[in-house]
């Protein structure tokens, strides 16, 4: 677009000046352009900037002005201007009329004085412009209509393609889906079914025509199913097999209002149902033997008690195979598993005549619940039958292997027990049987069970008591039997804050051994006792003898950290190690239980005196005493609570004391409660003793107050 185009629109004979030729027509053209731009902008929207619109219109003004004065005159540029107005979107409803009116005046002014020929030329030029405009509008309208036709046709073709693709996809999904799909009428009758549904129902397509899913419902579900059927259902296939399915229903509507049909989807759950059944069986049964597991057995006990006649009795036997661990280690796991399966089968066979449930409740533990009948044998006979069946050898690799079992039995009326109590009672009886040896059985003993339960309750409460400061270290004097003077103090653990009453040294330590709490208490007991060593030494006026004795339990003797605990206690107290005597459990050292033997050796090497406690003078113990660094032995008092002591017992005691002294050991006796016993032990040559006769376990102040004086 030539925005700087200049024109010569003067009429012939019009005077010119050298300096301002054409200046006035050029200015008039610019003013006409500006006015036309305002008219166009007011009559229609033009997608141009102001500068672009001005240049565009100025070009048209110049075309018209040149055509108006051209010789010879040609109106065709007017038609081009009209067409270019349409091309430039100058097509408002009154844009053409306003433009023509404006151009009539402007072009006349631009061309100078008007004459008849110029007026005629102007009319022809603007007429051509209107014609060009109209023709351009017509072509534009036709083009838009054609574009619309093509767009509509294209949209129709795309819609048809989408519809065909949708139908194809639906048919493909319908045909190849593993889920059963059916189109049904409003009554639930099949209109169309896919192959998956045919397979699920075990039928043929022609047989399903006109049928409905309700025709395949299992008889036990027909009454509880909604119409039309939906949800989890059990069906009976045409071949008579059962199929579990999940049914979903969706309405099909071709317009507003009621649906015209339904889409029925049927998911086959048969394999899942079978798998759930298997998992359920595995959850409730032992995988190795096929018997009920503990979870199933405990639930079954409650169930059977709930439905049994309250006047009848039930018998519960808990069995534990004796030394099964040795068989497992000796024969291998496969042979042990085979033996467990044999035990399970034999228990089932023994109970075949009874209304009984047999279970494997643990690795080598079994249980049998019997709902007693008039023919159920008495408990001793029942246990004999079990042991006889288990005693029959099972040949493994040519070796006949048999097992024995310890059995706990309880028989109670149904109305007087619960499943949990019955199981606990039988388990308590089993523990009592195992405590007496192999191949033993026991019935439930309420009095013994009460004692055991009380003991276990105390054992369970002991760790909390230790944390709460209810445990303390008590002391008792050690006296020389020849002059009854206190020569040392023995430290021991006691439970002074026990709710049911204070507990002495041996009882407290026995409870601590049950839970392993003794190992945690050991270092604390050593530190507490050693802190008083200077007081014992000062009170007794002795510098070269052990003033403090600490007796260790079996677990404490075997503790890997014992040596470190002893060193820490002696160092914290600031005393010589030789002032302390550590008493080790003889059985633990003899059996080399844990680190007991090594602990005794190392403790002796650091200068602490060592002793063997609960020593009885047997040959193996004599050999141990001769070859270990222990300097003392502590015997229990076999005379305690006995007024008449036989000659054989006296000779045995004399031999034990003599053998120990012959090796060079100091002999002490623990637990002397009577003067007569003290005299006997003194006559046998025992060096020192402790026990109720010489003072009970007490706190440090009272123990110190009695040192250095003859025991009363």
Per-residue pLDDT reduced to its tens digit, 120-129: 777 777 877 8
Q: Does position 2 have pLDDT exceeding 50, yes or no? A: no
Q: Does position 227 have pLDDT exceeding 60, yes or no? A: yes
- Contact between residue 191 and residue 183 where contact means Cβ atoms under 8 Å apart: yes
Q: CA dihedral defined by 233, 236, 241, 246, rounded to 10 degrees?
A: -20
Around Cβ 444, how many Cβ atoms within 10 Å?
A: 21
Q: Does position 535 have pLDDT exceeding 80, yes or no? A: no
Tens of pLDDT along 36-56?
888 888 888 888 888 888 888
Tens of pLDDT along 187-211?
778 878 888 888 888 878 778 777 8
- Comparing CA positions, the residue from 570, 581, 571 lying closest to residue 608 is 581
Count of positions (residues) in the chain? 712
Q: Does position 24 have pLDDT exceeding 80, yes or no? A: no
Q: Does position 542 have pLDDT exceeding 80, yes or no? A: no
DSSP 189: B
Give residue 599's pLDDT. 94
Contacts of 618 (CB under 8 A, 6+ apart): none
Q: What is the mean pLDDT of residues 456-481?
A: 86
Strand 231-236 relative to strand 355-360, pairing = unpaired
Which range, 109-113, 217-221, 468-472, is most confident? Answer: 468-472
Give residue 285's pLDDT. 79
Q: Does position 555 have pLDDT exceeding 90, yes or no? A: yes
Q: What is the mean pLDDT of residues 466-473?
A: 85
Give residue 607's pLDDT. 92
Q: CA dihedral defined by 228, 233, 236, 239, rounded to 10 degrees?
A: 110
User: How far apart are the C-alpha atoms of 707 and 689, rounded to whole Å?
Assistant: 15
Q: Does position 272 have pLDDT exceeding 70, yes or no? A: no
Report the SS3 class of residue 290.
coil
Give residue 688's pLDDT. 92
User: How far apart are the C-alpha atoms of 603 and 601, rounded to whole Å?
Assistant: 6
Q: Does position 114 have pLDDT exceeding 60, yes or no? A: no
DSSP 11: P
Q: Does position 543 have pLDDT exceeding 60, yes or no? A: no
Report the SS3 class of residue 302.
helix
Give residue 223's pLDDT. 62
HSE, CB side, 13 Å, CA atoms: give it for residue 620.
7
Q: Does position 705 have pLDDT exceeding 80, yes or no? A: no
Q: Does position 182 have pLDDT exceeding 90, yes or no? A: no
Report the SS3 class of residue 231.
strand
Mean pLDDT value across the chain: 81
User: How far apart are the C-alpha atoms of 681 and 687, rounded to whole Å?
Assistant: 9
User: How far apart are the C-alpha atoms of 32 and 62, rounded to whole Å?
Assistant: 10
pLDDT band at 564 (very low <50, low <70, confident <90, very high): very high
């Amino acid at each position: 677009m030539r925005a700087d185009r200049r024109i010569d629109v003067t009429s012939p004979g019009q005077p010119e000046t050298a300096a301002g030729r054409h200046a006035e027509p050029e200015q008039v053209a610019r003013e006409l352009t500006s006015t036309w731009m305002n008219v166009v902008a007011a009559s229609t929207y033009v997608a141009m900037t102001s500068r672009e619109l001005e240049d565009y219109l100025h070009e048209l003004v110049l075309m018209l002005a040149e055509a108006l004065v051209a010789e010879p005159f040609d109106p065709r540029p007017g038609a081009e201007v009209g067409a270019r107005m349409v091309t430039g979107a100058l097509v408002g409803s009154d844009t053409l009329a306003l433009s023509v009116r404006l151009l009539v005046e402007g072009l006349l002014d631009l061309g100078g004085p008007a004459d008849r020929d110029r007026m005629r030329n102007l009319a022809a030029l603007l007429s051509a412009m209107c014609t060009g405009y109209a023709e351009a509008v017509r072509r534009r309208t036709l083009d838009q209509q054609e574009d619309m036709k093509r767009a509509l046709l294209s949209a129709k073709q795309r819609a048809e393609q989408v519809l065909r693709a949708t139908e194809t996809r639906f048919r493909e999904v319908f045909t190849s889906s593993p889920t059963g799909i059916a189109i049904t009428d409003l009554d639930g009758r099949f209109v169309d079914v896919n192959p998956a549904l045919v397979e699920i129902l075990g039928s043929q397509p022609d047989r399903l025509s006109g049928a409905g899913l309700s025709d395949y419902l299992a008889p036990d579900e027909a009454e509880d199913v909604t119409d039309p059927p939906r949800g989890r259902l059990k069906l009976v296939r045409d071949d008579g097999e059962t199929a579990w399915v999940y049914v979903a229903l969706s309405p099909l509507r071709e317009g507003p209002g009621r649906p015209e049909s339904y889409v029925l989807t049927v998911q086959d759950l048969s394999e899942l149902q079978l798998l759930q059944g298997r998992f359920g069986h595995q959850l409730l049964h032992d995988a190795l033997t096929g018997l009920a597991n503990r979870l199933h057995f405990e639930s079954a006990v409650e169930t059977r008690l709930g439905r049994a006649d309250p006047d009848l009795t039930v018998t519960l036997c808990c069995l534990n195979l004796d030394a099964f661990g040795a068989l497992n280690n000796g024969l291998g796991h496969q042979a042990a598993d085979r033996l467990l399966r044999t035990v399970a089968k034999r228990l089932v066979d023994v109970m075949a005549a009874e209304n009984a449930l047999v279970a494997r409740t643990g690795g080598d533990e079994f249980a049998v619940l019997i709902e007693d009948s008039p023919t159920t044998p008495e408990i001793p006979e029942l246990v004999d039958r079990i042991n006889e069946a288990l005693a029959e050898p099972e040949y493994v690799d040519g070796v006949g292997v048999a097992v024995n079992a310890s059995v706990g039995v309880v028989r109670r009326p149904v109305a007087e027990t619960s499943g949990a109590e019955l199981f606990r009672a039988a388990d308590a009886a089993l523990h009592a049987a195992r405590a007496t040896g192999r191949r033993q059985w026991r019935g439930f003993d309420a009095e013994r069970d009460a004692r055991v339960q009380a003991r276990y309750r105390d054992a369970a409460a002991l760790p909390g008591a230790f944390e709460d400061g209810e445990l303390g270290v008590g002391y008792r004097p050690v006296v020389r039997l020849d002059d009854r003077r206190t020569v040392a103090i023995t430290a021991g653990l006691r439970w002074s804050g026990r709710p049911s009453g204070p507990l002495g040294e041996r009882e407290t330590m026995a409870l601590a051994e049950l839970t392993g709490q003794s190992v945690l208490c050991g270092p604390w007991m050593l530190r507490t006792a050693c802190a008083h060593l200077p007081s014992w030494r000062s009170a007794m006026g002795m510098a070269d003898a052990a003033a403090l004795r600490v007796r260790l339990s079996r677990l404490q003797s075997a503790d890997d950290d014992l040596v470190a605990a002893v060193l820490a206690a002696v160092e914290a107290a600031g005393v010589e190690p030789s002032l302390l005597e550590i008493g080790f459990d003889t059985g633990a050292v003899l059996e080399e239980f844990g680190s007991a033997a090594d602990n005794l050796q190392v403790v002796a090497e650091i200068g602490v005196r060592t002793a063997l406690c609960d020593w009885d003078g047997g040959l193996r113990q004599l050999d141990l005493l001769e070859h270990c660094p222990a300097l003392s032995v502590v015997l229990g008092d076999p005379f305690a609570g006995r007024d008449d002591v036989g000659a054989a017992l006296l000779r045995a005691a004399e031999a034990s004391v003599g053998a120990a002294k012959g090796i060079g050991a100091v002999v002490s006796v623990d637990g002397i409660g009577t003067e007569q016993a003290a005299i006997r032990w003194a006559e046998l040559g025992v060096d020192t003793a402790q026990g109720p006769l010489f003072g009970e376990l007490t706190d440090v102040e009272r123990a110190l107050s009695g040192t250095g004086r003859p025991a009363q």
